[in-house]
Amino acid sequence: MNGAPKLTDRKALALHRIRAAKAPVTFLHDAIADEVKERLNEVNKTFTSPLLIGNVTPPLAAIFPDAPQIDDTPELTKTSGHDLTIHCFGIHWADDPIGQMVQSRLALKPDGLFLGVMFGGASLQELRICLAEAEAKLTGGLSPRVLPMADLRDLGGLLQRAGLALPVADARSFTVRYPSLAKLVHDLRGMGETNALATRNLKPVSRQLFRETEAIYRKNFNDDGFLVATFDIVFLTGWAPSEIQQKPLRPGSAQSRLSEALGVPEKSLKR
């Protein structure tokens, strides 16, 4: 990553998270913590040495209250021997998401589980559209205001590139209705998810831009007087490679025909 453009102003992100911790908004993280617990229960494995990484909000911390926590800095604090790493709301801010996954894998012992929770591509799509239209109308240009987020298909490939076995990427979408744009911004602040882009415009958002954005929002994404906001939550899972894990069969190694399993006659292809 040396010399590559930086996505995130890490100092600003840290300040946003500190501010959020003083008055946290956790309704979304409450639901996600329940989802994480369900997913871990489905694994049918007891985790005794978990590690929590990133923006570990109170609902997520409560899953493993005694687990150590480390920041999602570009170079993670070196640790090893964990049977579970949960990367909490940090990968979408990472300049090098693969690097975060690789380091999370290296913190695991063989057959340990990596679970990443992050915002996905459709998150805040309504706000993104309305801000862009309002700023273009008022200034004739655009500036980075909402974090660009990866699509689900791309994230699944990153798990494989990070060296994780049995990779799975899936998403759950939450739709939240807000009485005003100010209330949406309030909640984003309480989550620590306001603009920390390295290339952001450092000038405060003008009242005129705020009013124009809300007017466009109400025109296009209005549900009975409420503004609709989408939060697309991506769950990434993969395992540290181990000899005890199931391996896919080699091509051509099947011992029976598909037609026999389906109970149908086999037909040859005509050329």
- Beta-carbon contacts of 105 under 8 Å, excluding residues fewer than 6 positions away, are 85, 114, 162, 163, 164, 238, 240
Q: Give pLDDT tens digits along the chain (271 positions).
A: 455 678 999 999 999 999 999 999 999 999 999 999 999 999 989 999 999 999 999 999 999 999 999 999 999 999 999 999 999 999 999 999 999 999 999 999 999 999 999 999 899 999 999 999 999 999 988 888 888 888 888 888 899 999 999 999 999 999 999 999 999 999 999 999 999 999 998 888 899 999 999 999 999 999 999 999 999 999 999 999 988 766 655 656 556 666 666 666 776 655 5
Q: Cβ distance 109 to 83 under 8 Å?
A: yes
Q: Cβ distance 151 to 121 under 8 Å?
A: yes
The pLDDT of residue 251 is 59
The pLDDT of residue 1 is 46
DSSP-derived pairing of the beta strands 108-119 and 222-223: unpaired
**257 is a domain residue:** no
Q: Cβ distance 193 to 25 under 8 Å?
A: no
**220 is a domain residue:** yes
Please work out, in degrees rounded to the nearest 5, the angle formed at the alpha carbon of residue 212 by the alpha carbons of 209 and 215.
150
**20 is a domain residue:** yes
CA–CA distance, 240 with 24 (Å, rounded to integer): 33
CATH number at residue 123: 3.40.50.150
**174 is a domain residue:** yes
The pLDDT of residue 5 is 73
**270 is a domain residue:** no
Q: Cβ distance 72 to 103 under 8 Å?
A: no
CA–CA distance, 240 with 165 (Å, rounded to integer): 6
The owner of tokens 């005794």 is 48
Q: Cβ distance 76 to 106 under 8 Å?
A: no
**269 is a domain residue:** no
Which residues, listed in sequence order, are joined to residue 54 by a DSSP beta bridge? Answer: 88
- Give the long-range contacts of residues 95-101, CB within 8 A, separation 24 or more: 95/1, 95/4, 95/6, 95/7, 95/8, 96/1, 97/150, 97/155, 97/158, 98/158, 98/161, 98/162, 99/1, 99/74, 100/53, 100/72, 100/76, 101/158, 101/159, 101/162, 101/164, 101/236, 101/238
Burial class (CB in 10 A: 0-12, 13-18, 19+), 263: exposed
Q: Which domain holds residue 70?
A: 10-245
Question: Alpha carbon 75 to chain centroid distance?
Answer: 19
**1 is a domain residue:** no
CA–CA distance, 196 with 181 (Å, rounded to integer): 19
Give the count of domains, the chain.
1
**266 is a domain residue:** no
The pLDDT of residue 247 is 64
